[in-house]
């Protein structure tokens, strides 16, 4: 399929004007979630959107839908909460961001600091944490 949209100035102009706070806080995650929502989950890439999907997305964003941002932010918060809860059960002090980041930086865990994890990374992390918990339970 040929790329239908080649100029993304409208999208980035809308983000800069109306959603700058979201793009600073959530960065690439916000863009990917928005694109995924308007492509029906088919893609997270602007380049792979159809012209119709792109136009519909921009029209909606220009109408400033705070629910969209809230959905992305809430989803990220929910995934983070799950991981923090699991870490706490493992024995990581989740009241100390230094301890959380040190734990996450381990190549066997995530390889990056907690704040750098997107929703997919958090899903993979929660799976690893559940396996660690299961192994701890089997030892006792």
Residue 16: the pLDDT is 77
Instruction: Say if 3 falls within a structural domain.
Output: no
**Backbone torsions φ then ψ of 74, nearest 5 degrees:** -65, -40
Instruction: Say if 115 falls within a structural domain.
Output: yes
| pLDDT, tens only, 8-27 | 888 888 877 776 666 566 66
Q: Please indicate, yes or no, whether residues 85 and 44 belong to a single structural domain of this protein.
A: no
Residues for the chain: how many in total? 140
The beta-strand segments (E) located in the chain are none
Nearest-angstrom CA–CA distance, 120 and 115: 13
Q: What is the mean pLDDT of the chain?
A: 85
Instruction: Say if 86 falls within a structural domain.
Output: yes
Q: Does residue 43 register a pLDDT over 60? A: yes
Q: Please indicate, yes or no, whether residues 88 and 36 belong to a single structural domain of this protein.
A: no
Instruction: Say if 111 falls within a structural domain.
Output: yes
- Supply the range of the domain harboring residue 114: 76-139
Q: What radius of gyration do the chain's Cα atoms show?
A: 18
Residue 124: the pLDDT is 94
Residue 23: the pLDDT is 58
The domain tally of the chain equals 2
Residue 24: the pLDDT is 60
Q: Please indicate, yes or no, whether residues 31 and 57 belong to a single structural domain of this protein.
A: yes
4-18, 47-61, 74-88, 93-107: least confident range: 4-18
Q: Please indicate, yes or no, whether residues 34 and 85 belong to a single structural domain of this protein.
A: no
Residue 20: the pLDDT is 66
The two tokens of residue 47 are 């380049």
| Choice between 119 and 129, residue whose per-residue pLDDT is larger | 129
Instruction: Say if 1 falls within a structural domain.
Output: no
Q: By percentage, how much of the chain surpasses pLDDT 70?
A: 86
Q: Please indicate, yes or no, whether residues 128 and 80 belong to a single structural domain of this protein.
A: yes
* Alpha carbon of residue 15 to chain centroid: 17
Longest dimension (CA), the chain: 59
Sign for the CA dihedral angle at 16, 21, 27, 30 comes to: negative
Instruction: Say if 69 falls within a structural domain.
Output: no
């Amino acid at each position: 399929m040929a790329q239908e949209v080649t100029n993304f100035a409208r999208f980035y102009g809308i983000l800069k004007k109306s959603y700058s706070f979201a793009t600073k806080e959530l960065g690439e995650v916000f863009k990917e979630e928005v694109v995924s929502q308007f492509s029906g989950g088919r893609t997270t890439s602007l380049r792979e959107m159809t012209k119709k999907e792109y136009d519909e997305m921009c029209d909606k964003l220009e109408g400033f839908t705070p629910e969209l941002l809230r959905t992305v932010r809430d989803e990220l918060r929910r995934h983070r909460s799950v991981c923090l809860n699991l870490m706490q059960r493992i024995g990581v002090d989740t009241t100390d961001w230094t301890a959380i980041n040190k734990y996450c930086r381990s190549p066997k865990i995530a390889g990056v600091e907690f704040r750098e994890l997107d929703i997919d990374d958090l899903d993979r992390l929660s799976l690893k944490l559940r396996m660690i918990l299961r192994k701890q339970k089997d030892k006792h």
